[in-house]
Structure 1
């Protein structure tokens, strides 16, 4: 199976890698880095064909994100996060699709989905207020998905909370400059967002319950298996793919650096069996993490094609696989960085940047193992997991 987008990315690999330091210095993607992503088509991989998208197999999307992240972590992260948003937009109301893509099919959408806002119902829609953190790639986006809670007439959160995904144009929200000052993934520009009394019409709002139970997709009449995947499979894919790609990039820089390195003892790395063992073990672990993530999404896709229901148990085990893949890859990075010597920590050595990026990527909520591992173990024991927050990310 050919992947034209991956081929286009590979042709511009040196350019993507060279822009890494600039991205980090700017605290957002360099305009040229964003231009490369637009020109290669990565953000349109999961976009519907009705609006110029490619509707690729999700495995192809993940492989492409991994490649980009192996060249520069921040560029890969933005590709993975922003690249998933067209997947959900595919089953949004056709009116908002036209607003977003009608004039420019390369329009990007940011997020986050965390329900940090309150949407107060009014005639024809909602009045929306809130503040969010971690809006990756937001400087290069003209629209945004934001998570919110349905409010009552006074703007108080309803109980039990009813979550919504609200879609807003750039004119309706504020990007907070200087709100992204972190140790890794600095080039993602994952800044804070503020919304004050924005009116969001009904057709730009998707109930989260319909996203999670698949009814939003069915109501939209979509038949491509890519869109029939559960949200908990599609949403983490680009994020975890970028972390694994970053680990691959760290390994590649480590190998280049170690090839001619001589330790303070005078021993060449090629003659040190302990370091060579660590390199091989780390390489195998990163390869295994990659294989696990790609196999997981491929099996889910194949199940949809076969018409088989993806159960809650399936989703729980799939999330466990996805989370563990990220942790496995980053632990392997730690093993090789610890054997790279002090000079690997110099700012002009890319190894330290990939190391920092990997760890910051692992802190994303989608990689927290606690509840996911708990629930997946219960399902495999044949025990019904409790309702509530433990099930919310599955």
Structure 2
């Protein structure tokens, strides 16, 4: 691949930008945009080289997601969610890797990981049932990671609880149409998924707890820095990058909108010091959020690359910084949107879409600050962190 994915996305920037309204109407990314993303190689950034992946630095992945999201929030969100799945597939069983990528190494994989299914053990694997929400980009994916709890032979949840990541082909699950009716990120197609009595062989199952704590990567013999990165650094990265990219898109739309606007007081915005102050401050906040997120992933990469442990305290601090970056960017968007006048509310103005998408992005579980910041504070003081606070770290 001679063109970097971020440059390839730049080449179709107008197409992505112009498709934003269509994506919302379809409640999924339009087919031509999905093809453009597929051709760009964005979903190969974190994929293993033996299946045509680029094995890029996570910073490049984050910057590429930001670029896409600055053009259309839903498109960037799908890049961030779907784009991280090849990273995990790289340390799954080689047999399932071949099933997913053997004939087409650009096959996309969906999720979600919320353990809302039960996997009942049987000979050679599991019988799997459940329903999941929020499967972003799922219409364009042919495989899926689904979270589950290990069940008993009778179908009850086994104790102590064990979380699993089940890997299924499209033929084994149902996408629930018309299940994504939302106010923001409407074009992501984050629909519900249903699985009923699917047999999942053992080699298509990963221990979710081991994925999160890094044991799965060790057991798979991963040696490259990329695939030894902590889950809590990699999985949230694409999501927060999308939110920051959306904020950058909002800033650009605001600049276009305000450039020739006359405010309610009759003063041109370019001559209004109060608006200009808010604009300057918001631009600085969004840029700072971007740099904070990128610096954080760089620091964690450098630790892993040097063979050092990324302990719980550092992982918690990283999640704290990542969440803060997202909130910082979205609060800055609020400051400029509130100063854009009533016409910014009109549905033919892109600014309102970026504003809605930015707030929708904060609703993802990884952006909820309470438990993670609590855990980070306790850890920084040397106290033991209860499991319920550590679950997202």
Task: After superposition, give the CA deviation of every residue in 1:16-60 in whole Å (9 maximum; x if it has no partner).
Answer: 111111101100010011011101000110010111111000000
Equivalent-residue separation in structure 1 for 2:117 and 2:164 (angstroms): 9
Question: 2:113 maps to which residue?
Answer: 113
Question: 2:251 maps to which residue?
Answer: 251
8 Å contact 1:3–1:60 — kept in the other structure? no
Deviation (angstroms), 1:3: 7.7
Worse-superposed segment, 276-285 or 376-385: 376-385
Deviation (angstroms), 1:265: 2.0
Task: After superposition, give the CA deviation of every residue in 1:203-223 in whole Å (9 maximum; x if it has no partner).
Answer: 000001211221211222222
Question: 2:268 maps to which residue?
Answer: 268
Equivalent-residue separation in structure 1 for 2:24 and 2:94 (angstroms): 37
Question: 2:124 maps to which residue?
Answer: 124
Question: 2:388 maps to which residue?
Answer: 389
Equivalent-residue separation in structure 1 for 2:25 and 2:212 (angstroms): 38
Deviation (angstroms), 1:378: 0.8
After the TM superposition, which parts of structure 1 deviate over 6 Å for at least 4 consecutive aligned residues?
none
Equivalent-residue separation in structure 2 for 1:48 and 1:221 (angstroms): 14
Equivalent-residue separation in structure 1 for 2:164 and 2:278 (angstroms): 46
Q: How many residues align?
A: 392
- After TM superposition, the score normalised by the length of structure 1 is 0.98
- After TM superposition, the score normalised by the length of structure 2 is 0.99
Deviation (angstroms), 1:245: 0.2
Gaps in structure 2 of 5+ consecutive residues: none
1:348 aligned counterpart, secondary structure: coil
Equivalent-residue separation in structure 1 for 2:3 and 2:314 (angstroms): 28
Question: 2:158 maps to which residue?
Answer: 158
Deviation (angstroms), 1:383: 1.4
Task: After superposition, give the CA deviation of every residue in 1:223-257 in whole Å (9 maximum; x if it has no partner).
Answer: 22111111010000000000000000000000011
Equivalent-residue separation in structure 2 for 1:314 and 1:97 (angstroms): 31
2:314 counterpart of 1:314? yes
Gaps in structure 1 of 5+ consecutive residues: none
Task: After superposition, give the CA deviation of every residue in 1:71-106 in whole Å (9 maximum; x if it has no partner).
Answer: 000000000000000000000000000000000111
Equivalent-residue separation in structure 1 for 2:297 and 2:374 (angstroms): 21
